[in-house]
Chains A and B, each alone.
Chain A
Amino acid sequence: MNGTQIRQRFAQRGYIADEDFATSIELMLALEKPLLVEGPAGVGKTESAKVLADVLDTKLIRLQCYEGLDAASALYEWNYPKQLLHIRLTEDQGLSLAERETQIFSEPFLLARPLLEAISQARAPVLLIDEIDRADEAFEAFLLELLGEFQVTIPELGTIRAKERPAVIVTSNRSRELSDALRRRCLYLWIAYPELEREVAILRARLPGVNERLARQIARFMEFLRAQPFQRVPGTAESLDWALALVRLHRDELDEATLELTAGCILKVQEDWELLQTLRAQYRPLLAPDAGDEVVPTPPQADYGLGSVRANLG
């Protein structure tokens, strides 16, 4: 799949990608290396993996990272109750200790967690390691072997190599610096907030109910907001939420009253609300109806369909 095809197929699924994104995905598939995706919250890092799985028509295996995540919940764990039971059941068979140990530390007693599952699939899945910065540094070390060699070493069993190399996407919100060792094993992609035109395209693709003019108004307003010193800068996810809210409220265009009614969709901190109040003079021109600028377009004919937002629309 080349870059253009990747962009097309992502667009068909409501994910409007730019060239950098498409190139990174292309390289990730060609070089069989994991892709580390960073960027502000709500720009579609996690979504990119979901859509990729859909594009490749394969399974998505997701590992959500959190503090305290350890090998037992990410890689594998032994099935202790089963082992215990097995020991009891075979007590009087006269087996030696070594034989019993070999028995209970074999694959039937192994519980595969997401990472091990990802490398033991017959068909290469997409593995999403989400928000790796939430896990602690020690956990990164667990990942190195998997990301570098696509294999997992289990002391009792030996090394399990990937049957098919999964496409790995690692996301991070940069809440802490990742180790160089991890970064070196990955290709790197930074996803920024989309520029105006792309945001309009994203809104139109995910929410066919939004007309061009409203989408443009929203995108322009979001661009304005992202230049302001908010504590939580709204991302594309917020634009989509907001657009969906406006559609539900049957608004064809933005005005001040609607903005006040729906500001909770985009700004989620009290201080940010206060700041928005003080910016009224600046954003008012953005809400003024721009006659002549826009043409009311026909709804798109393409089947954009698989986005979660659209599913919500019924």
Chain B
Amino acid sequence: MSANLTAGIVEFCGHLRREHGFKVGPREARDAMRAIECVGIARRTRVVAALRSVCCSSPEEIAIFDRAFAAFFSLAPGVAQPRPRRHPQASDAGATGAPRRSAPAAESLAEGWELRRAQYSPAASPVDAVAIPTEGLAAALTQAQRLIQRLHLARSLRWKPSARGERFDLRRTLRAGLRTGGELMLPRMLDHPLRNPRFVLLLDGSRSMSEHSARMLQFAYALCRRTRRASAFVFSTRLREVTRQLRCAARNAYRLEGLGEAWGGGTRIGASLGEYLRNFSGLLSDQTFVIVMSDGLDVGEIPQLQRAMREIARRSAAIAWVNPHADSPGYVPSADGMQAALPYLTTLVSFGRLGALTNLRRRRRMAADA
């Protein structure tokens, strides 16, 4: 392999690491070179496929990789560009629900209308980036830590050694028995350990929540920072995943970028939750704790919200709704959105009482209480 090519690959790997936060170290660089040696450089598509396979580790990274590759080796348009891939987050605009094929003209026009209607809604003024205030971040981190450590919604299905377990552990009893000359005198037991839930955060980024966005983002940042079992999404008229951005926010001056229609516009909770279900519902399981942070002022269709909530409730362990107004005196959840969601909630709390979430113990819906 020529020195030039080697240098180019090493340089590109470094570029991916520095500019795009890829986890590409010397080992990957070495693998990349071996990969190129293996597939040759006769065909660009093969080279791209090989490097992609070595450097990427998620579909999100593939989308970034394709752009970075084209830019780094500055391909003139027209020559075989790396083929754009079809995966959930491939499109630039983050239009995750967009049709994956070229739509006929009539259809695209209709879509354009829908888009426009959403943008021109009275509250719409999408901003692209938002900063997480750093003041009080330490407290949020402590709070998140406590929530992660203390919240157990169920027992895991694993068996773990435990003094007062319910299942006999032959292996460890046998080993202990060797100490007494093969006589099994010290019984060992197994039990199901408590399970830490996964967190899914759905943050309402619409304008009506702007006053509370600081606490909301701090909480989300803290949770994503403290555990890998959390994923966060913001929505306004569209939905966007921000887990990765939150996790690396410190490196990016605590700014979230490229939010587009997911921040600072009107509120379409039902449509956004529906979008979540379509694209990310794989994250829901009976050990998922869903936290929705919103004031419930929905300008979208209420039946849609109801359907989405029912589906999320069915597929998760618990749903907590954090409403900034919940502890104002005389508050009744009378907004249409809140009314629709209420039967499916496990608990409704305010930002001030986020700590109370640690006390949740089991699956319980508010409808069952009434």
Check B87–A187 contact: CB distance below 8 A: no
B46, B281, B285: the one contacting A231 at CB < 8 Å is B281
Give CA–CA (A27, B51) in the complex, Å: 10
Contact A70 B159 (CB under 8 A): yes
Q: Which of B8-30 contact A (CB under 8 A)?
A: 23, 27-28
B97 on the A face (CB < 8 A): yes
Contact of B38 among A20, A27, A188 (CB under 8 A): A27
**Which residues on A sit within 8 Å (CB–CB) of B28?**
184
Q: Is B121 interfacial (CB-CB < 8 Å)?
A: no
Say whether B130 faces chain A, with CB atoms less than 8 Å apart: no
Whether the Cβ atoms of A227 and B49 lie closer than 8 Å is no
Which of A44-52, A118-126, A170-178 sits within the interface? A170-178
Residues of A within 8 Å of B, CB-based: how many?
54
- A36 at interface, CB cutoff 8 A: yes
| Count of A-B residue pairs with CB < 8 Å | 123
Among A184, A193, A229, contact of B278 (Cβ-Cβ < 8 Å)? A229
Q: For the complex, is A283 an interface residue (Cβ under 8 Å from B)?
A: no
Task: Judge whether B282 and A174 touch: CB under 8 Å.
Answer: yes
Question: Of B39, B57, B103, B181, which contacts A36 at CB under 8 A?
Answer: B57
Bound: A77/B172 CA distance, A: 12
User: A177 — nearest CB in chain B belongs to which residue?
Assistant: B228
User: In this assembly, does A183 line the interface, its C-beta being within 8 Å of a C-beta of chain B?
Assistant: yes
Instruction: Find out whether the CB atom of A67 lies under 8 angstroms from the CB atom of B35.
Output: no
Which residues of chain A from 7 to 60 have a CB within 8 Å of any chain B CB? 19-20, 23-24, 26-27, 30-31, 33, 35-36, 38
With A188-B56, A192-B85, A231-B311 known as contacts, the answer to whether A97 contacts B178 (CB < 8 A) is yes
**Interchain CB contact under 8 A, A23 and B50:** yes
Q: Report which of A78, A87, A188, A192 forms a contact with B171, defined as CB distance below 8 A.
A: A78
Task: Indicate if the CB atoms of A188 and B86 lie closer than 8 Å.
Answer: no
Contacting residue for A91 out of B31, B174, B182, B229, CB 8 A: B182
Answer yes or no: B364 CB below 8 A from chain A CBs: no
A-B pairs with beta carbons under 8 Å apart, 29 shown: A19-B46, A30-B35, A38-B58, A38-B59, A68-B156, A70-B158, A70-B159, A78-B174, A84-B174, A87-B182, A88-B182, A136-B158, A175-B283, A176-B198, A177-B228, A180-B23, A180-B57, A183-B57, A183-B58, A184-B23, A184-B28, A188-B54, A192-B86, A192-B87, A195-B86, A227-B99, A227-B101, A229-B274, A271-B307
Residues of chain B having any CB pair with chain A under 8 Å? 23, 27-28, 31, 34-35, 38-39, 45-46, 49-50, 52-54, 56-59, 62, 85-87, 97, 99-101, 103, 156-159, 170-171, 174, 178, 181-182, 198, 228-229, 231, 274, 277-278, 281-283, 285, 307, 311
